[in-house]
Amino acid sequence: MIRFAFFGSSEFSIHVADALLLRGLAPTVVVTTPDKPYGRGLVVSPNLVKAWAQKNGIPVLDPAKFDDAFIEKLKGCNCEVFVVASYGKIIPEKVLDAAPKRTLNVHPSLLPSYRGASPIQSAIVDDAKDTGVTIMRLDSEMDHGPIVAAKKVRFDEWPTYEKAEEKLGSVGGSLLATILPDWMQEKAHETPQDHSQATYTKKIKKEAGLLDLADISPDAPVDRAYLAFQKIQAYHAWPGTYFFTEKNGKKIRVKVSSASWKDQKLAIEKVIPESKKEMPYSDFMQSIAENR
């Protein structure tokens, strides 16, 4: 049995961990971020990864900082290797050095392309359908370490971010499960990244989800309409895509909750108007026409 610590804090982390479990690889301990307030009531709650670990009976460490006390607790778990999948924080070298067999990272792109915070969203917006996952050894720089394994994943049509994340996480977890035994026996090979070919992604800002009405109209140019569709899919989980329009002489914000791309045209299917429940887009447009 391989003893490993699993670092993660997002839905992507869970998809990777689930794939490992299916292959009989359960983390010895899960390391995640501390509980924080969620929802309108700001109730302090565990994140998704902590809840997943508790459900599966796996011990959890959720340090506020990587101090000596945390490192001693981590060493006390007697893990041979660390695995990182969307932890969300930079892990200092003093923590990485605590793993006898070093630290592997599951990254949802084909490195060195799409390093950074938003590889899945960026691939969708760029229409980079030939993407994939990379297993790399983590070093002190962001997504910089040598590649241990990689697998291509093609999306013929773009799903929502959540579906793309699930697919890439599952493939990444399965790939890690395949190479981990060789890694533990020092049979896996490392290939340095070609850093001259590196591309970088940025943290997404809320305003990235704003759509221009001209780009979602029936007569929008194909390229602009398709880019609007890519944004809808890429930002579906966060920050969401939205547009502003007028109803009863008042400017309102309308969130796009569902869309598709058919016959070279953007089809918006469902929206959530400001202060209203989700409804078919056709019904919303009819209500706009009736109130003009």
Asked if 16 and 4 touch (Cβ cutoff 8 Å), the reply is no
Q: Cα–Cα distance between 234 and 114 in angstroms, integer?
A: 14
Architecture of the CATH domain 4-201: 3-Layer(aba) Sandwich (3.40)
What does the pLDDT read at residue 35?
Answer: 85
Residue-by-residue pLDDT tens, the chain, 292 positions: 899 999 999 999 999 999 999 999 999 999 999 988 777 777 878 899 999 999 999 999 999 999 999 999 999 999 999 999 999 899 999 999 999 999 999 999 999 999 999 999 999 999 999 999 999 999 989 999 999 999 999 999 999 999 999 999 999 999 999 999 999 999 999 999 999 999 999 999 999 999 999 999 999 999 999 999 999 999 999 999 999 999 888 899 999 999 999 999 999 999 999 999 999 999 999 988 776 6
- Strand bridging mode 250-262 / 265-273: antiparallel
For residue 232, what pLDDT is reported?
A: 98
Integer Cα distance of 66 and 93 in angstroms: 10
**CATH fit for domain 206-290, picks 3.20.20.70, 3.10.180.10, 3.10.25.10, 3.40.50.300:** 3.10.25.10
Write down the pLDDT at residue 51: 96
Triad 134, 140, 144: Cα angle to 5°: 35
User: Are 197 and 114 a contacting pair, CB within 8 Å?
Assistant: no
Two tokens at 168?
A: 């890439």
Is residue 229 within 8 A of residue 259, CB to CB? The reply is yes
Annotate 71-88 with DSSP letters as a single string.
Answer: HHHHHTTT-SEEEESS--
In sequence order, which residues have a C-beta less than 8 Å from that of residue 264 and are 6 or more positions away? 222, 226
* Per-residue model confidence (pLDDT) at position 292: 64
52, containing H or E segment = helix 48-55
Contact 104, 178 (CB under 8 A): no
φ/ψ of residue 181, rounded to 5: -60, -45
Annotated domain spans of the chain = 4-201, 206-290
